[in-house]
Amino acid sequence: MEKREHWKSKFGFILAATGGAIGLGNIWRFPYITGKNGGAAFVLIYIGCCIIVGIPLILAELSLGRRSQRDAVGTFKVVKPGTRWFWIGGMGVATGYLILSYYSVVAGWTIGYFFESLLGTFRKMGSPQAVASYFDTFSASPLKAIGFHGFFIALCMIIVIRGIQGGIERACKLLMPTLLGILLICIIRSITLEGSLAGLSFFIKPDFSKLSTQAIFEALGQSFFTLSLGMGAVITYGSYLTKKDNLASSGVMITFLDTLIAILAGFAIFPAIFAFGLPPDQGPGLVFRSLTNVFNAMPGGVVFAPLFFFLLIIAAVTSGISLLEVITAYFVDERGWSRRKTVLTMGTAAFLLGIPAALSFGRLQGISILGKTPFSFVESLTANYMLPLGGLMISVFVAYIWGRRKAIDEVKVGNPAFITGRIWVFLLRYICPFIVAQILLFGVLSEFTSPRVTSFANTLRSYLSIIDIVIAAGVIIGGAIYIISIKRAKRKEE
Ligand code: PFF
């Protein structure tokens, strides 16, 4: 077996891990889901999910990975040998495949749009309608959709073949700061446009009357998707950490940076969309249909259009490689394959699996799986169901099966001053599984349209929402008391 590599520096790990987290989920998916679900109120629920469920779960995955020094499946075999818990990791690898297969389709669109904007395609079009509907023509073309999808997977394969330090870490160190720089330039341009205020208010002024059960369900799915949780991606990156690293601060940092970039993307996109009077609820085509028009109409658009799509490509590449790495680590660690053989075979497999998603906007548009196109079906299945389910099982595994003592001890390695261990395990034990299971249940119920199911769901919701309020208040008050008492005790010791 090849010797296990580690990250070269803490900074390199943070950039690679945030690079994996920050991706199309932040700049393409977050704006379109927020636009569809009414804006600011949705954003608040999403941030709540990232803090209450996201941080504890990221830390759970990081500690599992570092403890085992193995891939998503092997981790469970090391931590609980002789049991079947490794199936959680197996589901994670399968989820990784499915996500990569359609993720690279969207990434392919961004590559295509980057070239089109460099060539000035959108500038030459007469009307805003023509620019917007170009997305339909573009995504319906089998040659373009499949070609760019393949191009993107090949790009990820080239990086992942080079391994951890020379491939992933090096690429992210260069790409992540570039991403932040370009995003800041786009925000300044967007909020200084005339009429941008309506977009700002849509994004930051919550209107809770617009919040549906479906929106809460999607906010949870989005928090899992954007933080790459529930499928072992964080376990895998955590497995390249050493005992010197501080897991708790890394987990908080990754969540903070990922949420920050999503919010910044919102500031870059909504003011511009509203400034040009375009609707925010256009679904997956939002950034492609709207922003091309925005760039066409704004001064300096010739430069900003390719710059923005380049930004999307960077975000997609650093996440695409993390998806491919989950699959690669599994075959290298568990099956003893070489990195090279794994990347070549599995990259090709993901390419083939993605073809139906790539054709969903053209040849396969009429095909429906439970009322959705192949693309939307796989997107909703993975983000709204498979990731939360994986996360639910990981939290149960860490809190009940691995056990409180061992989990906290692992986090304390490299961070002896870790004082919030009890709160962490408490959240993993009682809060995360409860919240995730509840939202999953309502998600499943909302897929049914029969009046009986709906009225049952409504009754259940009224009971559960009382429990939720009590829990939220308890978590806030209990957490505050706990932290204050620990600080006092420490001061006394000194
Ligand atoms: N977090 C990535 C994004 O926001 O684009 C998507 C993703 C990457 C999901 C890796 C899951 C994963 F394992």
- Mean of pLDDT values over 267-291: 87
Distance CA 33, CA 460 (A): 26
Residue nearest to atom 12 of ligand 1 (CA): 228
Residue among 337, 362, 469 nearest 136 (CA): 362
Choice from 57, 226, 379 to test ligand 1 binding pocket (greatest atom count within 8 A of CB):
226
Determine the pLDDT at residue 2: 58
Question: Which amino acid is located at 483 in the chain?
Answer: I
The whole-number pLDDT of residue 140 equals 93
Residue whose C-alpha is closest to residue 105's, from 132, 139, 137: 139
**Residue 233 CB less than 6 A away from ligand 1:** yes
pLDDT, residue 137, reads: 93
Compute CA 94 distance to the chain's CA centroid, rounded to the nearest angstrom: 16
At residue 155's C-alpha, the angle toward residues 152 and 160, to 5°, is 125
Residue 224 has pLDDT above 80, yes or no: yes
pLDDT level of residue 351 (50, 70, 90 thresholds): very high
CA dihedral sign, ordered 337, 340, 341, 343:
positive
Between the CA of 20 and the centroid of ligand 1 the distance, in Å, is 6
C-alpha–C-alpha distance, residues 285 and 287, integer Å: 6
Give all domains of the chain, ordered by start, each with its CATH number: 10-493 (1.20.1740)
Cβ(25) to ligand 1 under 6 A?
yes
Q: Judge whether residue 355 has pLDDT over 60.
A: yes
Residue pair 323/98 in contact (Cβ under 8 Å)? The answer is: no
Mutate which of 95, 255, 322, 327 for ligand 1? The one with the most ligand atoms within 8 Å of its CB, which is 322
User: How far, in Å, is the centroid of ligand 1 from the Cα of 128?
Assistant: 32
Instruction: Tell me the C-alpha distance between 215 and 36, whole Å.
Output: 9
Q: How confident is the prediction for the chain on average, in pLDDT?
A: 88
Q: Tell me the CA–centroid distance for residue 177 and ligand 1, in Å.
A: 18
Q: What residue type is assigned to position 288 of the chain?
A: F
Per-residue pLDDT of 105-157, as tens digits, reads: 999 999 999 999 999 899 888 787 888 889 999 999 999 999 999 999 999 99
Contact present, 240 and 68 (Cβ < 8 Å): no
* Predicted local distance difference test score (pLDDT) of residue 197: 92
Return d(Cα 478, Cα 158) in angstroms, integer. 49
Structure-token pair, residue 415: 């961070």
For residue 434, is pLDDT > 80? yes
Per-residue confidence (pLDDT) for residue 65, from 0 to 100: 95
- Res. 18 pLDDT band, cuts 50 70 90: confident
Number of H helices, E strands in the chain: 23, 0
Q: What secondary structure letter does DSSP report for 125? A: -
Substitution site in 88, 99, 152, 327 for ligand 1 pocket (most atoms within 8 Å of beta carbon):
99
Is the pTM value of this prediction over 0.95? no
For the segment 62-71, what is each residue's pLDDT rounded down to a tens digit? 999 999 999 9
Ligand 1 atom at minimal distance to the Cα of residue 322: 10
Determine the Cα–Cα distance for residues 199 and 186; give it in Å rounded to an integer.
15
Q: Which amino acid is at 422?
A: R
Q: Is the pLDDT of residue 1 over 70?
A: no
Is residue 26 lining ligand 1, measured as CB closer than 6 Å? yes
Q: How confident is the model at residue 58 (pLDDT cuts 50, 70, 90)?
A: very high
Candidate of 50, 95, 231, 319 to mutate for ligand 1, largest count of ligand atoms within 8 Å of Cβ: 319
- Helices in 359-450 by DSSP H: which ranges? 374-380, 387-396, 404-412, 421-426, 432-446
Residue type at position 430: Y
- What 3-state DSSP class applies to 416? coil
CA of 383 to the centre of ligand 1 (A): 10
**Which residues, in sequence order, are CB contacts of 177 under 8 Å at separation 6+?**
none
Cα(397)–Cα(390) distance, rounded to whole angstroms?
10
Please state the rounded mean pLDDT for residues 72-87: 95
